[in-house]
Structure formats: structure tokens, C-alpha cells
Amino acid sequence: MFVPRFVKNMKPPQLIIFVFLTVILIGSIFLALPISDQNGQATSYLDSLFMAVSATCVTGLAVVNTADHWNTFGQVVILIMVEVGGLGFMSFLVLLLNMTGQHPSFKSKMMIRDAYSFTSINGGVNLVKSVIKLSLMTQMIGALLLSVDFIPRFGWAKGVWFSVFHAISAHSNAGFDLFETSLFQFKDNPYVLFVMSLLILSGSFGFIVWFDLINFRSIKKITLHSRLALTMTTALVGSGTVLYSLLNLKSFDGHILSYMAQNFFLSITPRSGGFTFSNYNATSYASLVLTMILMFIGGTSGSTAGGVKTTTFGILILNIKAIFANRNSTIYHERRIPRRIISRVYEIVFIYIGIIFTSAFILLITEHLPKNNGIEYVFFEVISALATVGLSLGLTPELTAIGKVTIMILMFIGRIGIMTVIYAVGSHAKIDEELIQYPDEEIVVG
């Protein structure tokens, strides 16, 4: 197979970005064609490109309504991009190599490691195969569970299609729906909310965590990564459910099951799910701040979710705890976390915050804020895009051209990963720090 020289010379992070951009470009062309539109009209390329970025980066922010604007063909194109973005294009490469009896090259193994946040290149191919099987099985089970409600409600053809579409969208943490108003009609349906919550949660766990859980019986061991991820996920879901329950007490109508399902769902969907059954413009500032915090944290590394990741936030808390205890080492379950990992945590968090404030500043200049809306109208959208969540206060459909480009860049960075982008655009020059030593000098800080 012919591969251009410039592609062969790319570093793994650059190749990951290149393939994602290729998928987005192809998808945007299909969406711009009249065959994708309900009315048989061509969609503006900027809007088509925005939707392609949102689908491939499993975000869910939309400048046009998915149910109203796109016909079945357009919806299938979006769903394919969601699946590619959720599972990762490397999954399909591994499948292709497996079908043709070929073995992945060393560079392919490096790409698998970078794409899925694995710590080693060894065993990555087998792990990706497990990821594919697990993801498809989870989506199938999710579709079957949703069909119990959707088929009687919408009929066989529509019910099956809706079940498959929303199972894939929820598991991929994409947030795309075919109901015109997200899950508003299911607000008092604890069954659908619970199934959707579990699908979102299953996608945000991370492939490494699932691999550890599935193989726990045989290996009798769980990695420190998975232990921290599970602890943080449990803490975030539990505390989020309790806090939303307290903040939404005024809306409690006596139906305890529906109320608990709603608040359980609200604690999960901001962490990259993107579905909603409530109007965030009508919620309290406290609820908005809680939602933005959960969006900022996101899911687990190596998952379909965005955000700074649960393990990153967990290590940040552990390190701050060590600082207050006046300890030089950050310890978790009798293991010392390396300083290079702690340094990376602070790099990710502060670069993330820097991107949020820079992007919000641009949008505050270019976009129009409706009356009765403050800067939260922009910051909410920026965090949602960068964390690939898809929740909105209504800014996205009203974006200017500059605003759309800004949000697209945020979604792309959020899905690819900040560190991947840095490694891809970083300098090729390597300086051996052991050969060049500079003298230390103190600077007053704090």
C-alpha cells in the first residue's frame, strides 16, 4: 500500500492528529452534501465541519439540530464518526491488520500506546482487541435495554434505530441525540435515565480499568491506576449525586425513585456525557459551578471521556495533601508516585486552565451575550467543548464564524489530548541535559 513520505516521517502524536483530521475532513464533506439533509439542500461547509469535529471528538455540541436537520444518511455518517472517535481509529487499524493476517509495526505499536494512554507498547494490540469486544458488547447490551422502552414508544423501525444510535452515542460519551430536546421527555423515566447513566459511565471508565476488572479473577491484582480511577469515579458520582439532590430540593415532587435517578444522571452526564433533561439556563449558579467542576475533571485516562481526567485530579489532591503534611513524597496505597508524573499533572491542569481563559476571552470579544447572562454563558461553553462534554447554555447555535473555529479547536484539543498536541508540535531538537548543566539560583515565590 502506498503511503506518502511525509506520513512515514511523522511522529506517532503527529500521525494521530493527521488521521483524526482526515476522518473529520471526509465526514464534513459527506455532511455538506444534499443527500445528508432532511430537505435535500447542501449544508454550509463551516457548519458541516463543525458537526464533523463535534462527532469525531465525541463532544455533542451542535450548530444545527441533529434530529431536525439531518436525514437517516446524515445521522449514520455522524454515528460512524462517533464510533471512530470513541473507539479510536487505531481499533480499526488493528482489526484490519488482524483480518489480513499482518502484524503491526513498531511505529503502529507506539501509536496504539499514545492513542489509548497505555504505559507500555507491549500487549497493546491484544488490549485493543479486548477494547473492541468490550465496547461492542456494551453497546449491544445498552441498545437491547433501551429498546425495551423505545420500541413500544416509537415502533419497531424507529425504536431499534433510536436504541442503537443512543447506546453508541452514550457509551462513546458523544451526547448526540435524535429527540430534538435531548432527554427532556425522559425526565420522569428513571429506567431510561439509569440505562443512559450506566452507558456513559462505562465509556468514561477507561479501557485499562475495564481490562483490570475483567481479568481480576485470573490475575488477582488491580493496578494503582485503576484503583485511583475507581476511587475518584466513586467519590465524584457519590458526592455529585448528594450535592445535586440538595441543590434541587425545591423540584422534589415526592417521587423518590425519579428524583434519585435524575440526580444520579446529573452527576454523571457532565463528566463528558453531554445528554440532559433540564434547562441549565434555569438552574442556580451553584448547580452551574458544580457542573463546570465535573466537566473540568471529566472521565478516566484512556477512555472516551474528556477533561483533565480523574487520575490527574486524584494525584493533584494527593500531592496537595502531601504538601500540607510537609512530606516530600506523594504516597498512594504504599506506592510513591514519581515526580515526573506529578509535574505532568500540574502541567496539564495549568495549561488546561490557560486554554479555557484564553478561549473565553476570545469569545467574550467575538460573541453576543444575551440579556440576563454573564460570563458564565461563555465559560460554560468553553469548558464543555474542551472537556468534550456537549452541554450548552445556548451559545453554540448562535456562534459567529470565529466562535465556531474557536470551539472546534477546543473540541479537537480536548479529544486528542493536550500532551499529545504538545508532543506533536514540539521541537524535534533534543538536548542532552546531562551534557549541559546550568547553575542554580533562587527566586522568591509565594
Nearest to 368 by CA among 405, 395, 391, 390: 395
Q: What is the pLDDT of residues 123-149, one digit of tens each?
A: 556 667 777 788 889 999 999 999 999
The pTM for the full model equals: 0.90
Span of 2-16, 391-405, 422-436 with lowest mean pLDDT: 422-436
- Average pLDDT of the chain? 87
Quick one: pLDDT band at residue 419, thresholds 50, 70, 90? confident
What are 323-350's pLDDT values in tens digits? 999 998 999 988 999 999 999 999 999 9
C-alpha cell at 118: 497505555
Q: Using an 8 Å Cβ cutoff, are 380 and 280 in contact?
A: yes
Task: Check whether 1 has a pLDDT greater than 60.
Answer: no
* Residues near 12 by beta carbon (within 8 Å), at least 6 away in sequence: 107, 110, 111, 113, 114
Please name the amino acid found at residue 236.
L
- Binned at pLDDT 50, 70 and 90, residue 91 comes out as low
What ranges do the domains of the chain cover? Answer: 5-425
pLDDT of residue 182: 86
Q: pLDDT tens digit string along 367-395?
A: 988 887 889 999 999 999 999 999 999 99
Give me 171's grid cell.
457509551
- Cβ-based burial of 99 (10 A; exposed 0-12, middle 13-18, buried ≥19): exposed
Q: Supply the pLDDT for residue 176.
A: 94
More confident residue, 373 or 257: 257
Which pairs with CB-CB distance under 8 Å and at least 24 residues apart come from 123-129?
A: 125/94, 127/207, 127/208, 127/211, 128/90, 128/91, 128/94, 129/94, 129/98
pLDDT above 90 coverage of the chain, percent: 61
**pLDDT confidence of 96, banded at 50, 70, 90?**
low
pLDDT of residue 253: 83
Other beta carbons within 10 angstroms of residue 1's beta carbon come to 2
Residue 11, pLDDT > 80, answer no
pLDDT of residue 101: 58
Q: How many CA atoms lie within 13 A of 21 on its CB side?
A: 9
pLDDT at 420 over 90: no
DSSP secondary structure string for all residues of 284-349: -HHHHHHHHHHHHH-S-TTSS--SS-HHHHHHHHHHHHHHHTT-SS-EETTEEPPHHHHHHHHHHH
Residue 430 has what pLDDT?
A: 52
Count of Cβ atoms closer than 10 Å to residue 216 Cβ:
12
Most trustworthy range by pLDDT among 107-121, 331-345, 414-428: 331-345
pLDDT computed for residue 278 by the predictor:
85
DSSP string of 145-186, one letter each residue = HHHHHHHHHH-HHHHHHHHHHHHHHHHTT----SSSSTTGGG
Going by pLDDT thresholds of 50, 70 and 90, the confidence category of residue 365 is very high
Query: Residue 400: what pLDDT?
Result: 96
Tell me which of 155 and 130 has the higher pLDDT.
155
Which residues, other chains included, contact 401 with Cβ-Cβ below 8 Å and sequence gap of 6+? 46
C-alpha distance from residue 85 to each of 133, 145, 271, 304, 326 (Å): 16, 23, 17, 8, 43
Condensed to tens digits (0 to 9), the pLDDT of residues 197-231 reads 999 999 888 777 887 888 777 777 888 989 999 99
Per-residue pLDDT of 37-72, as tens digits, reads 999 999 999 999 999 999 999 999 999 999 999 999
pLDDT of residue 2: 47
Sign, CA torsion 44/50/56/60: negative
